[in-house]
Structure 1
Amino acid sequence: MGGLVRLKSGVMTNDTIAEALNRSCHCISVDQVALQRSLEASLGESGAFSRLQESHPHLLAKSPVFVSREHIDQMKAVIRALDHVTGLEGFRDLALGWVPAIARSNHGTLGAFFGYDFHLTIDGPKLIEVNTNAGGALLLLHVADAQQACCQAVENFVVGRFSITDLETEFVNMFRRELALQSPRADLRRVAIVDENPAEQYLSPEFALFKQMFEEHGIDAIIAGPDEFVRDGKRLLVNGDAVDLVYNRLTDFYLQSPACAVLREAYEQAAVVLTPSPRTHALYANKKLLTVLSDAALLRELGADAVHATVLARAVPKTELVTEANADDLWARRRHLFFKPNWGFGSRGTYKGAKLTKRTWASILEADYVAQELVPPSERLLIVDGDQQSMKLDVRCYVYDGEIQLLGARLYRGQTTNFRTDGGGLAAIFTTPD
């Protein structure tokens, strides 16, 4: 079934079909037994799924989200346009001038697991932000693989199935390519998966999945904090063994904390491959960049062609720097704005303008913030404990070298994305046929 489809009355596009399915389809859900089997097989640990459900009850959604092929094609165009812009000397000079000097080091890597986060609207997908160390991909693989339909008709209607094994191999090859881009003659023998206090991170279960994935492909892997690194001459070591590549899940994007001192020195001396790097964050994920990407005229001044400038300006909600000069104007328009810290991550420190108090506004003015035009997320209606509930959703494209590797969604209720909603969490995406 593709193109235009006639349902009962009138002609529906794939966009409206996806909307209708998100409102009314409860025919596809997660097979909990299959999910348990899949996760525990990957982790090699019986009982791991039950423990995950107890410790992270809202991490994995039980229902998928539907996205039209048209929206996916539009998201691909936005991703291509942003890659075009980040290759412009004028844009790079501007972006690197906003961040610490470490971001000017260019060791050739592209950056693993970019996350392009979109809200779906009647005017097309809107790029809310880019994350350069997006989590959730491996968990989504298992969630998507465990989807079950109530009947063959529904199963045949949606597409988007893939092989966990094939996609994990693609992910491993991505890391091998990152190593080769910086050190063409090196072999990927040992990877360190690094975050601050990794065992305490909400997505720590995914770190174990990454460790197992690497080891299944013959690559030694360790989960570590940045303060566990030591130097031995030119080498970077953890637990006495040399590390070839660091998979960076830190939110200290420019390695400024004392805990990152050894890693920072090794990175600056190109003694280890670090992906994603400070440079990738500076060129893609600093929230200040949204003020540029939403301004077609400025993009043209920086050297972008008309097509890419138009695509970005239409997709990125209008964003402004918060300054003392425009504070009164922004406050007056606050109900139509969303406020984000420039170097923030996730939903930390973000505020919907309508909820702002004078006290919070004063703290925003003292910090480094942008104000983005408010774009309400689309919704997914679900049955939770027998009741119909409306969930907000955003779509994340996991991207490497400009290509989408995986699509996922986050379902939630509240002001910002969260993992505190019954029935919410990471959700698989099904696409309408071409």
Structure 2
Amino acid sequence: MKATFDRLRQRQPQLFSAADLHLPAASRQAMTEIIDAIESVIALPAYQAQVLAQAPAIARLPNAARGVFMGYDFHLTETGPKLIEINTNAGGGLLNAYLLAAHGHEDEAARLCADYVEMFREEWRLARGDAPLRRIAIVDEAPAGQFLAPEFELFRDLFAANGIAAVVADPAELGSDGEHLLHTGEPIDLIYNRLTDFSFTAAVHGHIRAIFESGGVVVTPHPRAHALYADKRNLMLLSDTAALTALGVQEATQQTLLAGIPRVVSVTPEQGDAFWAERKRWFFKPPAGFGSRAAYRGDKLTKRVFEEILHGGYIAQEIALPSEHVVPVEGGEATMKADIRCYVYAGRIQCVAARLYQGQTTNFRTPGGGFAPVFFA
């Protein structure tokens, strides 16, 4: 794994920081408790009914698969971890296994890779029982040009090493015989979905949508998982006392959620003056956004952008500033902000990693920044 990591670092050095983070075990425990609390609410029929009522119809289809690589992203504050967002196709999980190996934790890296393979097998079993899983397609738009393209290739090789044929494909490279999706004439059993068109609404994804809706392919993560977990409007429910009470959430669980999730509210034109006056306390995000796209810290806003936000269906989240860490960089040291990402499957943390950066939002452009392993003691 070390040799592969060295090649990755030479190919895209901005992916990896030279640093590692050592955090107190209490931080991991607090993040675990917040994740457990969220998972317990998402399991409630009342929550699912309310959230799915505003979701696209495709998200309301029953789905036994859970969804791989939930990314619970936290900022560590003086009052404990604060959940910033949840993503359903969080990238970097396998890259961070190789990063662990590069830091001398090869056994842990191997265990993590095996865990990831078993996760995909479990998704298949939940959907198809004892039928053999033969072929996986790792699907994204123009995958060779994606920033995380090296990870797609690592997954292809990992699946192949475990007896599962795998391809990396653009949606346009997938054909259909009306019952199954095909790649070079071979049927695809499961799609590892890296698309950000979470409901397959784009015309180019119409064949994927049709076969998925007819039950001809297993997709993970799938539209229902995105609607239940990653629509940022859900954070309005999870951070509101009245909403949680109405859902029947227990008092202890409410306390965990309210302490661990900064308040999230809807942004409307009618409240424009109030939001502008208090903009420094808010972070503005589109409800279906990803990768910090079109997200803005209130204290950095121009009036023009703010007007777009008011009419763009945005949500506003109370700012929870990220922790800062002095880390080694070429030629010395630098102070970096840290987002802490928990990669989660079926409510269980598989891996914890940091994304180190400077600037307004997470990025992979800061010299010395990128993914960094997190160790707890």
Counterpart residue number, 1:39 = 5
Deviations 1:141-163 (A, max 9, x none): 11122126xxxxxxxxxxx8743
Pairwise CA distance, 1:177: 0.7
The correspondence for 1:236, drawn from 181, 185, 203, is: 181
**Distance in 1 between residues matched to 2:151 and 2:25, nearest whole Å:** 29
**Distance in 1 between residues matched to 2:76 and 2:152, nearest whole Å:** 30
Check the 8 A contact 1:144/1:429 in 2, yes or no. Answer: no
Q: Matched residue of 2:269: which SS?
A: coil
The correspondence for 1:141, drawn from 60, 74, 97, is: 97
The correspondence for 2:29, drawn from 73, 89, 93, is: 73
The correspondence for 1:401, drawn from 346, 350, 356, is: 346
Q: Does 1:192 align with 2:171?
A: no
Letter in 1 for 2:189: D
Q: Matched residue of 1:428: which SS?
A: strand
Counterpart residue number, 1:125 = 81
Q: How many residues align?
A: 377
Residues 79-118 of structure 1: matches in 2 within 5 Å?
A: 79-118=35-74
Pairwise CA distance, 1:300: 1.5
Q: Does 1:53 align with 2:19?
A: no
Check the 8 A contact 1:107/1:270 in 2, yes or no. Answer: no
Deviations 1:366-387 (A, max 9, x none): 2121110011100110232333
**Over the residues paired in the alignment, what is the CA RMSD in angstroms?**
1.4
Deviations 1:314-340 (A, max 9, x none): 111011101112221111110111000
Larger radius of gyration: 1
Check the 8 A contact 2:5/2:99 in 1, yes or no. Answer: no
Instruction: Name whichever of 61-70 and 202-211 sits farther off.
Output: 61-70
Check the 8 A contact 2:282/2:316 in 1, yes or no. Answer: yes
Check the 8 A contact 1:99/1:282 in 2, yes or no. Answer: yes
Counterpart residue number, 1:319 = 264
- Long gaps (5+) in structure 1: 1-33, 41-47, 149-159
**Distance in 1 between residues matched to 2:189 and 2:279, nearest whole Å:** 47
The correspondence for 1:424, drawn from 327, 350, 369, is: 369
Residues 314-353 of structure 1: matches in 2 within 5 Å?
A: 314-353=259-298
So what's the TM-score if we normalise by structure 2?
Answer: 0.97
Check the 8 A contact 1:334/1:354 in 2, yes or no. Answer: yes
Counterpart residue number, 1:25 = none
**Distance in 2 between residues matched to 1:421 and 1:366, nearest whole Å:** 32
Among all aligned residue pairs of Structure 1 and Structure 2, give the percentage whose two residues are the same amino acid. 45
**Distance in 1 between residues matched to 2:133 and 2:79, nearest whole Å:** 44
After TM superposition, which residue ranges in structure 1, 4 or more long, deviate above 3 angstroms? Answer: none
Residues 213-228 of structure 1: matches in 2 within 5 Å?
A: 213-228=158-173
Q: Does 1:208 align with 2:142?
A: no
So what's the TM-score if we normalise by structure 1?
Answer: 0.84
Counterpart residue number, 1:62 = 18
Letter in 2 for 1:66: H
Letter in 2 for 1:409: A
Q: Matched residue of 1:325: which SS?
A: helix
Letter in 2 for 1:137: G
Check the 8 A contact 1:294/1:312 in 2, yes or no. Answer: yes
